[in-house]
Amino acid sequence: MKIEDRMAAKSINLNPIQRGGILTDDARRVLQEYGDGYAFCDYCLKGRMYLIDTPPLRTFHQIIAEWLEMDDVRFTLGNRHAQRIIFKVLSKRGKYVIIDANAHYTTYIAAELAGLRVKEVPHTGYPDFKTIEDMYEEKIKEVKRESGEMPIAVFATHVDSYYGNLIDAKRIAKISHDNDIPFILNCAYTMGIMPISRKSTDADFLLGSGHKSMASTAPIGVLATTSEWANKVFRESKIEGDWSGRAFPTKDLESVGCELVGTQLLTMMASFPTVKERVKKFDYEIENARYFVRKIERIGEDAMALGETPRKHTLIHFDIPDFYWATEKKRGRGFYVYKFLKKRNIFGVQPGKSKDIKVNTYGLKKSEIDYVIKVFYELAEELNIPIM
Amino acid sequence: MKIEDRMAAKSINLNPIQRGGILTDDARRVLQEYGDGYAFCDYCLKGRMYLIDTPPLRTFHQIIAEWLEMDDVRFTLGNRHAQRIIFKVLSKRGKYVIIDANAHYTTYIAAELAGLRVKEVPHTGYPDFKTIEDMYEEKIKEVKRESGEMPIAVFATHVDSYYGNLIDAKRIAKISHDNDIPFILNCAYTMGIMPISRKSTDADFLLGSGHKSMASTAPIGVLATTSEWANKVFRESKIEGDWSGRAFPTKDLESVGCELVGTQLLTMMASFPTVKERVKKFDYEIENARYFVRKIERIGEDAMALGETPRKHTLIHFDIPDFYWATEKKRGRGFYVYKFLKKRNIFGVQPGKSKDIKVNTYGLKKSEIDYVIKVFYELAEELNIPIM
């Protein structure tokens, strides 16, 4: 896709991981200005990104912390590295972390990297796949019984990437805190999309993703926490050279000295006025998503949106078996759907997928949603699938 | 600095960490096309960045591996994360890593993160600060004597960031291999600047920095290795969900699943034809750097370039005591030099520095170097310092 096309919004991108990351025009301009290697380091006087005043990166850290009602924040090389850092720091406290079974794959791998075992909280299975929040209590007890120690943390995925289900964060927070365990909430699909704050979640750690949901260029993640945890997680280096005595007490330990995501952060800053406003209009986005679901579920006999009903997020995982059966006979098979949509300037459905179709309607205009529905109906017609 | 200025090259950037990272025009265009969040994931069919064929990221991995005469390569979130990953993987083999005392601060912190101790190889001190390569042998013996085990690796900084000294890699490689220890060479200031290869260095690991030296947007690092080490370092995830049985055997462990630096890599790809050619002209760059040193050393009585003589790199650390004494009486004191240069469109000398002035002449035209010399002489005149 050429820049002119993107700029003119001639094409529609439905990719669930991309809708919230599309840059604002301001962010695009900033990216050009600060694209060169280390350009954001021009006026770094203290050797750490979060202490740079020109451009005002330091102030922006405070702005995001306040926006989230948290005490301190750092920007990481993507949400996955925020997870890696927290798990690593907390891993001294024990061997298990409790996670929802809808957690992103990076949650499992971040735990693995920290030498932790995961204890999963089950979901309800097909077709809702709803995490059973009350089972967090049981799983804490299970860990205690099996290992003799408490889990290092309770982790929940605010909205998961597979079904777009919204978890009841406060309910899980209560269970965590009643057991004196810190609560980590992964808001990769919600921070920058819907209102998120400490008060609305009771989380000890709020994680976000700039390139997924805050109109920022990749890679950048958000790691926000409370004063209770900030000093433990945002530690400084203590190593000393045995011959030279060199030491780096002002450098950040877990980020290997400095986070390096200045260019990305500048795009986030440029987009933030837009992001701050757009989260307030989430109800409108939900209406659009539900409208889209109703229309797409009319394709053939069995089309349905997996996950909870009614939808509470714009990320939607459709199960459309008729597409699968009909395209199996077509040239390109699974790729038929991708190619059909691409010809009509709709992108983002995973190439090769014909049955499990994951999309995200976030930020689409009503007219664009109607256009996508029209094209999906045309595809159904082409495949001789009735609109019910 | 506005984009138009950068494009028109109206200003001169001397920042030692930025000269090699300035984007080519092609990279700048690619950055605009792929700036949106996860745009490089559009056609990801296998869930890992290094397996994407459209755009040809997979092929580019092979191209870089061949260019370096190594067997396999991954791109990381900056050189520091390449160091973090190698140290972590190797840390199972022991407690010590041997490093040169001119190593970048990230080397120390990456070691600290892996729970390692550093054993430093001394340098000659003021004014050359030359690493004494032969002492690697002694330090290996020292580790063995003190800890009863071999160091996990021998690490050297090819050109250091403080004095721009070039280390004798082959000499250190021989010591490492005679002792059956893997040899890691940090080429943050050389890969993409001068010719680097396995044959010319005998390294088991070659690390590079895209934003420092390969005309790429930040953050991106290079981790290249041999077939002997590739499987150990580029491991896949083994964790399994205890309830769901979910597993991610195709995901990369150390990068928490995927490296995420697709946008950065695309700028590196766009710049690579230029980078590949420019390394062949390093002799010309050295001539310019030596010319610049001769001219700047004429400022006042004591101006000198620290580090080895003659210079073997374009990164130069000047010690100009007369600038310090003269600006102490001026408004802005240390910042006087920065402001004087800025008004004349010269950037990159660290704000506040008047005595230790680090610059990099890499890629500057002869006419630009002459302009910088002229402005430095004007500054000397303004400060009543004679040109000797």
Per-residue model confidence as pLDDT tens digits over B150-182: 999 999 999 999 999 999 999 999 999 999 999
- CB distance A36–B17 less than 8 Å? no
Q: Which of B38, B162, B338 to mutate to test the interface with A (most CBs of A within 10 A)?
A: B38
- CB distance A254–B1 less than 8 Å? no
- CB distance B105–A248 less than 8 Å? yes
User: pLDDT, tens digit, for every residue of B129-153?
Assistant: 999 999 999 999 999 999 999 999 9
Å between B330 CA and nearest CA of chain A: 20
- CB distance A42–B6 less than 8 Å? no
SS3 readout for chain B: CCHHHHHHCCCEECCCCCHHHCCCHHHHHHHHHCCCCCHHHCCCCCCCHHHCCCCCHHHHHHHHHHHCCCCEEEEECCHHHHHHHHHHHHHHHCCEEEEECCCCHHHHHHHHHCCCEEEEECECCCCCCCECCCHHHHHHHHHHHHHCCCCCEEEEECECCCCCCECCHHHHHHHHHHCCCCEEEECCCCECCECCCHHHHCCCEEEEEHHHHCCCCCCCEEEEECHHHHHHHCCECCCECCCCCCECCCCECCCCECCCCHHHHHHHHHHHHHHHHHHHHHHHHHHHHHHHHHHHCCECCCCEECCCCCCCCCEEEEECHHHHHHHCCCCCCCHHHHHHHHHCCEECCCCCCCCEEEEECCCCCHHHHHHHHHHHHHHHHHCCCCEC
Q: What is the DSSP string of A252-302?
A: BTTTTB----HHHHHHHHHHHHHHHHHGGGHHHHHHHHHHHHHHHTTBTTT
- CB distance A217–B36 less than 8 Å? yes
Confidence of residue B41 (pLDDT cuts 50, 70, 90): confident
- CB distance A80–B257 less than 8 Å? yes
Cα separation, A164 vs A127, in Å, equals 12
- CB distance A77–B3 less than 8 Å? no
- CB distance B36–A6 less than 8 Å? yes
pLDDT of residue B170: 98
Å between B213 CA and nearest CA of chain A: 9
Residues 282-321 of A with CB under 8 A from B: none
Cα separation, A248 vs A236, in Å, equals 8
pLDDT of residue B123: 98
User: pLDDT, tens digit, for every residue of B56-102?
Assistant: 999 999 999 999 999 999 999 999 999 999 999 999 999 999 999 99
Of A55, A128, A114, A56, nearest to A80 by C-alpha is A114
* Burial of residue A325 (number of CB atoms within 10 Å: 0-12, 13-18, 19+): middle
Cα separation, B79 vs A267, in Å, equals 23
A261 CB contacts (<8 Å, ≥6 apart)?
A49, A75, A76, A77, A219, A220, B219
Cα separation, B370 vs B112, in Å, equals 43
pLDDT of residue B40: 85
Contact by Cβ (8 Å): B110, B82: no
User: pLDDT, tens digit, for every residue of B311-361?
Assistant: 999 999 999 999 999 999 888 888 999 999 999 999 999 998 989 999 999
Q: Which residues pair with A360 in a beta bridge?
A: A315
Cα separation, B139 vs A241, in Å, equals 13
Residues 319-358 of A with CB under 8 A from B: 347-348, 350-352
A&B contacts, CB < 8 Å: 236
CA torsion, ordered A222, A86, A187, A96, to nearest 10 deg: 170
pLDDT of residue B14: 96
Cα separation, A222 vs B256, in Å, equals 16
Q: Which residue has the tokens 């790199």?
A: B313
State whether the Cα torsion A223-B264-A347-A281 is positive or negative.
Answer: positive
Of B334, B303, B327, nearest to B316 by C-alpha is B303
pLDDT of residue A310: 96
- CB distance A37–B352 less than 8 Å? no
- CB distance B101–A43 less than 8 Å? no
- CB distance B238–A112 less than 8 Å? yes
- CB distance A351–B45 less than 8 Å? yes
The H-or-E segment that residue A319 falls in is: strand A315-319
Cα separation, A201 vs A203, in Å, equals 5
User: pLDDT, tens digit, for every residue of B287-301?
Assistant: 999 999 999 999 999
Q: Which residues of B75-98 are buried (b: 16+ CB within 10 A; e: fewer)?
A: bbbbbbbbbbbbbbbbbeebbbbb
* Burial of residue B174 (number of CB atoms within 10 Å: 0-12, 13-18, 19+): middle
Q: From B265, which residue of chain A is nearest by alpha-carbon distance? A: A218
Residues 199-218 of B with CB under 8 A from A: 210-212, 215-218
pLDDT of residue A45: 87
Q: From A37, which residue of chain B is nearest by alpha-carbon distance? A: B211
Å between A122 CA and nearest CA of chain B: 7
Residues of A in contact with B105 (CB under 8 A): 237, 246, 248, 251, 257
CA torsion, ordered A49, A53, A57, A63, to nearest 10 deg: 130
Å between A167 CA and nearest CA of chain B: 18
Q: What is chain A's pLDDT, residue by residue, as a tens digit (388 residues)?
A: 444 444 344 799 999 999 999 999 999 999 999 988 778 888 888 888 999 999 999 999 999 999 999 999 999 999 999 999 999 999 999 999 999 999 999 999 999 999 999 999 999 999 999 999 999 999 999 999 999 999 999 999 999 999 999 999 999 999 999 999 999 999 999 999 999 999 999 999 999 999 999 999 999 999 999 999 999 999 999 999 999 999 999 999 999 999 999 999 999 999 999 999 999 999 999 999 999 999 999 999 999 999 999 999 999 999 999 999 999 988 888 899 999 999 999 999 999 898 999 999 999 999 999 999 999 999 999 999 999 9
Residues of B in contact with A265 (CB under 8 A): none
Of A287, A186, A257, A360, nearest to B37 by C-alpha is A360
* Of B35, B45, B242, Cβ closest to residue A23: B35
Cα separation, A259 vs A266, in Å, equals 13
Cα separation, B26 vs B9, in Å, equals 15
A243 touches B at CB < 8 Å: yes
Contact by Cβ (8 Å): A132, A79: no
Residue A61 Cα distances to A55, A212, A357, angstroms: 12, 19, 37
B38 touches A at CB < 8 Å: yes
- CB distance A251–B105 less than 8 Å? yes
DSSP classification of residue A236: B
Contact by Cβ (8 Å): B203, B9: no
DSSP classification of residue A141: H
- CB distance B3–A29 less than 8 Å? yes
Residues of A in contact with B350 (CB under 8 A): 45
Cα separation, B111 vs B130, in Å, equals 22
